Amino acid sequence: MMDWTAVILSLKLALATQLVLLPPAIFCARWLALTTFRGKAWIEGVLALPLVLPPTVIGYYLLVAMGGNSPLGRWFEALSGQTLAFSFTGLVVASALINIPFAVQPAQRAFEAISLEIHESAKCCGLTFWQTFRRIELPLAWPGILSAAVMTFAHTLGEFGVVLMVGGNIPGETQTVAISIYDRVQSFDFSTAGAMSLLLLGISLVTIAISYGMADRLMRRRRL
């Protein structure tokens, strides 16, 4: 037995999060990797905050920010006719925010691994910013970017606290696999809970394997 509605919703959420988060995260990672300035540690620190903040703290702030009484919540409601909190869109916003460190950090490590000489030779060859980015940096940094994508994906599937607080457990809208497992355990439906737990376990294992493999690739490249 499997709660397919929840599985599909989780996959949808994970893909949407990647789509929204990865492009800005990649540019942010590149920027952080290639520049040094005063106060950079603070920016990196703010981006890493979701790693250490309790999900309930993030959930609380998001709920306040997205609820029907906040300017953002009201603006979204006027625009779309539905509330941001307790909607799929709201979950995507929340999920993108809490995944920032998982997307930025691996990509940043990858951009940092590209040596200065390569940047300089690219400039000497007369390549523009976009040419350098597309033909040189992206191909060299791709293990880190793939790792960022995979981590974001898996972390979104597994997120619980924030989703429960901001999403509110509505089947087909905000009831993700992790929430559905919690729900099934409460109703003693251990076979479904077990099957879905196994699915998440498998996905997590594959994720870790891929991202470790990618890190390994990066390290070897650095040695060359």
Partner 1 sequence: MRGRELLLRRLMPLLVLLVVATTAAPAAEIPAIAAAADLKFALSEIATQFKRETGRELRLSFGSSGNFTRQIEQGAPFEMFLSADENYIFRLAEQGRTVDRGRLYALGQVGLFVPHGSQLRVDAELADLRAALQEGRIKRFAIANPEHAPYGRAARALLESTGLWDSIEAHLVLGENAAQAMQFAASGASQGGIVPLALALAPEIARRGQFILLPAAWYARDPLRQRMVLLKSAGDSAAAFYAYLLQPAAREILARYGFVEPPESE
Contact 164, 54 (CB under 8 A): no
- The first and second tokens of residue 64, run together, are 């306040």
Residue-by-residue DSSP string for 106-123: HHHHHHHTS-HHHHHHHH
Going by C-alpha positions, the residue among 194, 196, 195, 190 that lies closest to residue 157 is 196
Q: Could you say whether residue 82 binds partner 1 (CB under 8 A)?
A: yes
- Tell me the closest approach of the beta carbon of residue 217 to partner 1, in angstroms: 11
| Footprint on residues 159-218 left by partner 1 (CB under 8 A) | 168-173, 175, 183, 185-189
Which of 5, 89, 132, 204 is in the footprint of partner 1 by CB under 8 A? 5
- The first and second tokens of residue 38, run together, are 């005063």
What crossing angle do the helices spanning 100-112 and 190-223 adopt, rounded to 10°? 20
| H or E element in which residue 149 lies | helix 138-158
Which of 47, 50, 87, 94 is in the footprint of partner 1 by CB under 8 A? 87
Q: Does residue 193 sit in helix, strand or coil? A: helix
User: What mask of x and - would describe binding to partner 1 in positions 95 to 114, judged by CB under 8 A?
Assistant: --------------------
- Tell me the closest approach of the beta carbon of residue 87 to partner 1, in angstroms: 7
Nearer to partner 1, 73 or 144 (CB): 73
Stretch that binds partner 1, among 46-54, 83-91, 103-111, 206-214 (CB under 8 A): 83-91
The number of residues in the chain equals 224
| Footprint on residues 28-67 left by partner 1 (CB under 8 A) | 63, 67
The count of other CB atoms within 10 Å of the CB of residue 51 is 11
What percentage of the chain's residues is helix, strand, coil (to nearest 5)? 80, 0, 20
- Tell me the closest approach of the beta carbon of residue 13 to partner 1, in angstroms: 9
- Tell me the closest approach of the beta carbon of residue 84 to partner 1, in angstroms: 8
- Tell me the closest approach of the beta carbon of residue 4 to partner 1, in angstroms: 10
Interface contacts to partner 1, rule CB under 8 A = 5, 8-9, 11-12, 15, 63, 67-69, 73, 77, 82-83, 85-87, 139, 142, 168-173, 175, 183, 185-189
